Amino acid sequence: MRHTLPIAPQFYVTAPQPCPYLEGRLERKLFTALQGDGAQRLNDTLSKQGFRRSQNVLYRPSCADCAACLSARINVAEFGTSRSQRRTINRNRHLERRATSPWATEEQYALFRRYLEDRHANGGMADMDSFEFAAMIEESPIRTRVIEYCDRTTGELVAVCLTDVFDDGVSMVYSFYDTDLTRQSLGTYVILDHVDIAREAGLDYVYLGYWVPGSDKMGYKAAFAGLEVYSGGEWQKMRDPADYDAKRHPLSNDPIAEQVANISLPDGRPLRGQNR
């Protein structure tokens, strides 16, 4: 019989580039490939340690002089809607949720282009063509769904979210919507609906990506009750946002080797000593 030992994932670091969230800072990412039979388990495990998925890659910020980016998730059991959020839900009662396999459509891409042109015209995705968009939607080695929101009366597509399914929650990989419908607060509504999706599925969390203190782009995430952030190697209840400013200090980050050594694998083994 042939016996094979499990191969530990290899981790790499990107070259520094301008940070999209904090002016004057440089970002750097720690990343590993997401592939093979163990992709789902690896994704589940690393996501609980602050990693995010982009197609076939898992990444986590690992900047040399900044640790501001904190992975954020909503604890469904601790969540409660505010008065403003209840109004948002009521304004969108006419929308229908449709969950599909990760398959890109022309209608999705047209909405995506309008969203980028209005909100992120100078962002890193601004030049994404239809083939790259299809790759973003369809190239997933794990359980992924496309959640579409359509007007029941007209059938018009007004919002889309690419959503991963974990063993403990759902992760909002990327969402976009009709920015002309400002009054409907569609970005907020999609998050609120994902809380319902997680609750209906008996899952504990809604993973929102990164919250960045000091960044106006990411400030909206702090408005959700039950928010937790991954800081200091553990998930903790969100405190006053001002308490996290110190994470932008240049001594906040451990060296790369130490960060990798402290990553746990799906079987509970630490990576310490395995990536040399």
**C-alpha closest to that of 70 among 198, 245, 202, 259:** 245
- Position 192 scores a pLDDT of 98
Question: How many residues in the chain?
Answer: 276
79 vs 48: CA distance, rounded Å:
19
Record the tokens describing residue 42, joined without a space: 């690896």
Torsions phi, psi for 63 (to 5 deg): -75, 150
**43/126 same-domain check:** no
Q: Is residue 233 part of a domain?
A: yes
Q: Is residue 2 part of a domain?
A: no
**62/165 same-domain check:** no
**98/229 same-domain check:** yes
In the sheet that 52-54 helps form, which strands lie side by side, from edge to edge? 12-13, 29-33, 57-61, 52-54
Question: Do the beta carbons of residue 41 and residue 5 sit within 8 Å?
Answer: no
- Position 5 scores a pLDDT of 41
Q: Is residue 77 part of a domain?
A: yes
Q: Is residue 208 part of a domain?
A: yes
- Position 275 scores a pLDDT of 44
Tell me the average pLDDT of the chain: 89
118 vs 113: CA distance, rounded Å:
9
**94/206 same-domain check:** yes
**254/199 same-domain check:** no
- Position 269 scores a pLDDT of 66
**54/133 same-domain check:** no
274 vs 204: CA distance, rounded Å:
32
Torsions phi, psi for 146 (to 5 deg): -105, 120
Q: Is the dihedral of CA 153, 155, 128, 33 positive or negative?
A: positive
DSSP β-ladder status, 227-231 and 57-61: unpaired
- Position 276 scores a pLDDT of 38
Question: Do the beta carbons of residue 166 and residue 140 sit within 8 Å?
Answer: no
Listed as ranges, residues in the chain with pLDDT below 50 are: 1-5, 273-276
The span from the first CA to the last CA of the chain, in angstroms, equals: 29
**237/106 same-domain check:** yes
**53/175 same-domain check:** no
- Position 42 scores a pLDDT of 96
Domain that holds residue 223: 73-243
**99/148 same-domain check:** yes
Beta pairing partners, 175: 161
Task: Residue 44: count other Cβ atoms within 10 Å of its Cβ.
Answer: 19
- Position 7 scores a pLDDT of 64
Q: Is residue 20 part of a domain?
A: yes
Look up the CATH number of the domain holding residue 137: 3.40.630.30
228 vs 233: CA distance, rounded Å:
13
What burial class does residue 127 get, using C-beta atoms within 10 Å of its C-beta: 0-12 exposed, 13-18 middle, 19+ buried?
exposed
- Position 88 scores a pLDDT of 97
DSSP element (H, E) containing 106: helix 106-119
**62/181 same-domain check:** no
266 vs 229: CA distance, rounded Å:
21
**65/107 same-domain check:** no
- Position 56 scores a pLDDT of 95
Q: Is residue 271 part of a domain?
A: no
Q: Is residue 167 part of a domain?
A: yes
- Position 217 scores a pLDDT of 78
Q: Is residue 269 part of a domain?
A: no
Q: What angle do CA 157, 209, 35 make, to 5 degrees?
A: 90
**For the chain, what is the domain count?**
2
In angstroms, how far is CA 163 from the centroid of its own chain? 9
**91/225 same-domain check:** yes
- CA-based radius of gyration for the chain: 19
pTM score: 0.91
